[in-house]
């Protein structure tokens, strides 16, 4: 089942619930809107995507005006809610970085939780190259790794804009996973220490010893209060329903509260640097 069809089914299910709550049959709703009865069935069963006007007419007919914002948000994100990486990266790794840069320009507050790897805006060129190389290997897309690295590094200029604010929360595991050569990771850890001192960057780390109120199931980005972006192996999820935004905002706040900042965060990084350096030294003996 395609992701697009799944999204249509979810939207159709909600429309059906509103119709039933209004105690209308499919035929009665269709007649009230001067639609053919088959249209109601197609919309509710995900065989046809509604338009903005369809949603607004449905809302009026079922007297469910409080649902307008959420339903329209679902509709607007229908085609981008679950974008397969192979399709998204068809134009190459660099083109996706260009698209993200355009999104960065529109965003004022960036909140990111990462449990597995360093966020792209904080990556060194060498770490970014390792991440892009993995994408090429796993997803069988693009070979423009060098161009993608350059584009990612250019994106990082936004960190120095005073009209932008950033709040990063990383688990200690993300700093210890071996996703690149040890010497590359050492450079990356040094980079994190430097970036944590930027005045518009709030950088927190959740240490291994810290109890979690919510399990760090996966990482995500919260862009203003408009969009949540989640990366999985096969796709990038873009979530925009108000209740989804609120859920991820609450999760981020919980994680942010558990994190250590400032000198304590830097001490965690330095401890990891010492452990990694010691391993590298013992390995050369």
> Is pLDDT larger for residue 78 or for residue 263?
263
Burial class (CB in 10 A: 0-12, 13-18, 19+), 212: exposed
Q: Is 152 within 8 Å of 120 (Cβ atoms)?
A: yes
Mean pLDDT of 231-248: 83
| Distance (Å, whole) CA 119 – CA 244 | 22
**φ, ψ for residue 84, nearest 5 deg:** -60, 135
Q: Is 165 within 8 Å of 110 (Cβ atoms)?
A: yes
Mean pLDDT of 239-249: 87
Of the segments 1-15, 133-147, 244-258, which one has the largest average pLDDT value?
Answer: 244-258
| Distance (Å, whole) CA 72 – CA 234 | 26
| Distance (Å, whole) CA 180 – CA 110 | 26
Q: What is the pLDDT of residue 16?
A: 95
Q: Is 89 within 8 Å of 135 (Cβ atoms)?
A: yes
| Distance (Å, whole) CA 144 – CA 93 | 6
| Model confidence at 255: pLDDT above 50 | yes
> Is pLDDT larger for residue 196 or for residue 281?
196
* Closest to 214 measured CA to CA, from 176, 244, 247: 247
| Model confidence at 2: pLDDT above 80 | no
3-state secondary structure of 172: helix
Please give the DSSP secondary-structure letter assigned to residue 260. B
Q: CA separation (Å) from 26 to 29, 30, 60, 85?
A: 5, 6, 15, 37
Q: Is 61 within 8 Å of 26 (Cβ atoms)?
A: no
> Is pLDDT larger for residue 139 or for residue 271?
271
Beta bridge partners of 170: 114, 205
Q: Within 13 A of 127's CA, how many CA atoms are on the CB side?
A: 25
| Model confidence at 1: pLDDT above 50 | no
167 sits in which H/E element: strand 165-171
Lowest mean pLDDT among 27-31, 48-52, 65-69, 169-173: 48-52
Q: Tokens 């509710």 — which residue? A: 44
pLDDT-derived band at 94, boundaries 50, 70, 90: confident
* Closest to 145 measured CA to CA, from 158, 155, 134: 134
pLDDT-derived band at 232, boundaries 50, 70, 90: confident
Lowest mean pLDDT among 17-31, 130-144, 206-220: 130-144
Mean pLDDT of 171-177: 97
Q: Quick one: what percent of the chain has pLDDT higher than 70? A: 92
| Average pLDDT score over the chain | 89
Output the pTM of the full model: 0.74
Beta strand 201-206 with 165-171 is parallel
Q: What is the pLDDT of residue 49?
A: 80
71: Cα separation from own chain's centroid: 21
Q: What is the pLDDT of residue 97?
A: 84
């Amino acid at each position: 089942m395609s992701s697009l069809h799944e999204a249509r089914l979810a939207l159709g299910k909600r429309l059906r619930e509103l119709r039933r709550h209004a105690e209308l049959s499919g035929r009665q709703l269709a007649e009230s809107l001067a639609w053919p009865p088959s249209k109601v069935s197609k919309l509710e069963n995900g065989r046809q995507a509604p338009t903005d006007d369809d949603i607004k007419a449905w809302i009026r007919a079922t007297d469910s005006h409080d649902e307008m914002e959420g339903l329209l948000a679902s509709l607007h994100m229908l085609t981008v809610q679950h974008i397969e990486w192979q399709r998204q990266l068809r134009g190459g790794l660099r083109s996706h970085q260009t698209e993200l840069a355009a999104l960065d320009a529109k965003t004022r507050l960036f909140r990111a939780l990462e449990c597995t790897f360093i966020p792209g805006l904080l990556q060194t060129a060498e770490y970014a190259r390792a991440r892009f190389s993995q994408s090429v290997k796993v997803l069988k897309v693009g070979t423009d790794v060098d161009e993608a690295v350059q584009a990612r590094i250019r994106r990082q200029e936004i960190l120095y804009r005073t009209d932008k604010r950033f709040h990063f929360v990383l688990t200690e595991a993300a700093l210890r996973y071996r996703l690149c050569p040890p010497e590359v990771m050492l450079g990356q850890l040094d980079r994190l220490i430097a970036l944590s001192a930027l005045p518009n960057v709030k950088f927190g780390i959740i240490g291994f010893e810290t109890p979690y109120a919510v399990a760090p199931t996966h990482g995500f980005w919260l862009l203003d209060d408009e969009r949540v972006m989640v990366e999985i192996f096969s796709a990038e999820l873009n979530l925009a329903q108000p209740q989804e935004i609120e859920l991820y905002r609450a999760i981020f706040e919980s994680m942010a509260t558990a994190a250590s900042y400032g000198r304590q965060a830097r001490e965690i990084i330095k401890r990891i640097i010492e452990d990694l350096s010691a391993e590298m030294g013992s390995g050369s003996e």
